[in-house]
A and B are shown apart, each in its own frame.
Chain A
Amino acid sequence: MLEGGVPVVLSPFFYACITNNKDLAECVDDARLVEGPAISVLTIARDMVHQGWKLVASPLYGNFKPAQQPYRSLVLSRGNENTQIPADSYSLGLIESAINLFQGCEIKRIPGDMPDQIDRDYKYVDLALMEDTLLECGILRCDLHRCIRR
């Protein structure tokens, strides 16, 4: 399903998905599921940026305050898994300032601390907002609607 002409560019890039959203992890190839709050996802991604990975999408959601949304999923890419690549300064700047924002938050939401119905919806929206990015990177395993309709 390539609506709007979104190209599926696979090689020569490697993609990694870091998430604390179990529902999303189940729909994505080789997702790394993190136990813990959104900031743990950011911290892992920051370490990966230092190792040569680049952010594919912004580490901040639009219209959700940091830590208002308990779930966070990030996609990173790199050209070659085995060579030394210097850290991408743009990605590093973004992820560092995102971590600062999350740390400065007054409300800290963690997965599962809200009524079930709302928790489910947060997971769902996290996945829905990542849909295009995951598709573009070619790592969305199954049809999104089937994934999230459950």
Chain B
Amino acid sequence: MKLELLKVNIKGVKWGGSTEVLKDGTLQVSKEDLLAFVADDDNLKCINADIALPGESIRIVPVKDVIEPRYKIEGGGQVFPGMVNDVESVGEGKTFVLEGVAVVTCGRIVGFQEGIVDMSGKGAEYTPFSKTCNVVLVFEPKDGLEKHDYEKAFRLAGLKAAMYLAKCVYESGGAADKTETYEIAPFAESMKSYAGLPKVAYLYMLQTQGLLHDTYVYGIDAKRILPTILHPNETMDGAVVSGNCVSACDKNSTYVHQNNPVIRSLYERHGKDINFVGVIITNENVTLADKKRSSSFAVKIAGMFGVDGLVISEEGFGNPDADLIMNCRRAEMAGIKTVLITDEYAGRDGASQSLADAATEANAVVTAGNANMTVTIPPQERIIGFTEYVDVIAGGFDGSLKPDGSIEVELQAITGATCELGFNKLGAETW
């Protein structure tokens, strides 16, 4: 399967009469057209659309999801299959990408929701989305809308907006600045390729605990799946999307699913140090029976591929730590070498045990940092969204909001700060 990503390098965003890329690389967006396209009058009242650029003194809070604008121009299916498009399989052909831009959806589903993106200052160092030019959509629900329905409407609106922007630019004649090609041969071939190189797969754990904690694969709530196989390219076309709203630092937004850095890193070493054979997705359910079933099933698939090594990434923390450790132990016991990616909850002083579970088999772990570390983020000139509940959001605490407008928060409150797909350079060490 071969996918080409045709990337337009976007250098800025501004409102204008039409949606297209200007000569200087600025994405011009027709606010009116965009809002009309994402409108969902039965469920949502969109109260604001805004632009936030890197370096501007802007805080976006609470951020629900971040999505990269993409649009398929060749090959089966369309981006975000089963969500805002047909369920046809994706991952082949050509996909048009607006690189450097993100659609950020913002709004409250529950009162304690967090998710801070600061475009400048200390907070900006920790969120990857301070480096993207953001088109921010702020939503509120129609009165009486049930929370599950609101979350869904909210999620779909963001995806629609992202697809719409890429589609408009493509249709207005936007030209790609570069093309990236991703290709892995069919199993029959790939299993025999690169003799001497170890076969490696990626065990991709998806947060699937319930409302505000869900992930969707081709439109299916991933808590209802048995672990299965994906071609890595499918993720690039949005086969996996986020329905996740809590624990901003380590929930995987759709953007990081689309740009999964583990998949990119495995591709980089493919054919050189390893033979990257595919992606196994699994879930992180709440019942112990589900945990055992999924873990056993996922490792069984890895065994059927005869892989020598697995990268296993976790999403979130708490009881998913048990899934992570279970996956690791089963794989190691089956003779498959593992490296885990997680983040830590070692307390503000860093002295507590970082994970809720442990195993001696987990001897190769990459950490995305201690999410309990506090940072004081300075006030920003402009707020997009709502700040009144910062005191009770996941990474905040009583007295978080200082009189001068600065907030002392744990990294947990900052969107994408300790992404367990290994999206950032942050890590932790023992002192």
Contacts and interface: CB of A to CB of B under 8 A. Distances in A.
Interface of A: 3-5, 55-66, 68, 90, 94, 97-98, 101, 104, 106-107, 114-115, 117-118, 120-122, 124-125, 128-133, 136, 145, 149
B148 to A, nearest CB: 8
Interface in B197-216: 207, 209-213
Interface residues of B, number: 46
Nearest to A149: B146
B207 A63 contact: yes
A124 B246 CA distance: 14
A71 to B, nearest CB: 12
A103 B112 CA distance: 22
Nearest to A91: B288
30 contacts: A4-B224, A58-B291, A58-B319, A58-B322, A60-B319, A60-B322, A60-B356, A63-B209, A63-B213, A63-B318, A63-B320, A64-B247, A66-B318, A94-B288, A94-B322, A97-B356, A97-B357, A101-B353, A104-B347, A114-B392, A115-B111, A117-B111, A118-B110, A118-B392, A128-B147, A128-B148, A129-B210, A132-B210, A132-B223, A149-B146
A132 B285 CA distance: 9
Interface SS majority for chain A: helix
B167 interface: no
Interface in B134-148: 146-148
A56 B111 contact: no
Contact of A106 (B110, B250, B284, B347): B347
B352 interface: yes
Contacts of A133: 286-287
Given A128-B210, A132-B210, A64 B291 contact: no
A41 B321 CA distance: 21
A58 B250 CA distance: 20
Interface SS majority for chain B: loop
Interface string B14-31: 000000000000000000
The interface centre, meaning the residue of A66, A98, A120, A129 with most chain B CB atoms within 10 A of its CB, is A129
A114 B318 CA distance: 22
A129 B286 contact: yes
Nearest to B410: A65
B251 interface: yes
Contact of B284 (A62, A121, A145): A62
The interface centre, meaning the residue of B288, B347, B394 with most chain A CB atoms within 10 A of its CB, is B288
B317 A128 contact: no
A65 B318 contact: yes
B85 to A, nearest CB: 22
B343 to A, nearest CB: 11
Given A4-B221, A124-B110, A125-B110, A57 B288 contact: yes
Contacts of B291: 58
A62 B211 CA distance: 11
Contacts, number: 121
Contact of A132 (B286, B356, B397): B286
Contact of A62 (B288, B319, B397): B319
The interface centre, meaning the residue of A4, A114, A121 with most chain B CB atoms within 10 A of its CB, is A121
A60 B321 CA distance: 10
A58 B319 CA distance: 6
A122 B109 CA distance: 12
Contact of B246 (A4, A63, A136): A63
Contacts of B207: 62-63
Contacts of B110: 118, 121-122, 124-125
Given A64-B394, A94-B322, 15 more contacts: A60-B319, A60-B321, A61-B209, A61-B319, A62-B207, A62-B284, A62-B320, A63-B247, A63-B316, A64-B246, A104-B352, A118-B112, A118-B389, A129-B209, A149-B146
A124 B147 contact: yes
A41 to B, nearest CB: 15
B287 A136 contact: yes
A63 B251 contact: yes
B345 A56 contact: no
Contacts of B392: 114-115, 118
Contacts of B397: 107
A44 B148 CA distance: 31
Contacts of A121: 110-112
